[in-house]
Amino acid sequence: MFTGIVEEMGEVKALRREGGSARLTLSALAVLEETVLGDSICVNGVCLTVVDKGNGEFSADVAAETLKVTNLGELRVGQVVNLERALRMSARIGGHLVTGHVDTVGRIREKRQEGNSWRYSIEMPADALRYIIKKGSVAMDGISLTVADVSESGFSVAVIPHTAKVTTLGIKSVGDSVNLETDIIGKYVERLLSARTGGKVNVDFLKEHGFA
């Protein structure tokens, strides 16, 4: 479990394909402190297991399924990624609960400056968009962000200067892909309500019962 508060950015040293899977090697400093083999590190929003660790770098195996549902396969040597160690239960949760299990890949369709901040508009598949709500939380490349608005094809977020500086969002451009993880609470609520109502949870049902 993670919080979506990025600790540092690391650099891709290697991405070696091995059949349908891959091994990713990244440079890092802060996230390697007290990290041992078998620990989890969130890489651009994807929970990966440390399988090798050296001087200022670590390696993680990326399964075929992970390559299929995330943008890790697009990484190239020299690119930077967002890194976060797993949450300690005694730590402050500065963002929201992030599992590192990416739901889908979105794409930046607009990036415009608003004062000293930036507004990013993200396009995403409809089957995952239903979990996005205005003022709710979303993890974008492992960064905990608040949803500013929702449209029929995606959503937008406001990114403050600090976040743009210490994460990869500052160097992302229109057309770039982003890993998206929706709020886990929404998925559990939908599952529980569907079980109780025979799978008939929709907008009409919510309106009928005073939830919309």
**Which residues have a catalytic role annotated?**
2, 40, 47, 49, 63, 101, 146
Distance of CA 151 to the CA centre of its chain: 20
In angstroms, the CA 153 to CA 45 distance is: 22
CB burial class (10 A; 0-12, 13-18, 19+) of residue 34?
Answer: exposed
In angstroms, the CA 17 to CA 55 distance is: 23
In angstroms, the CA 178 to CA 121 distance is: 11
In angstroms, the CA 212 to CA 209 distance is: 8
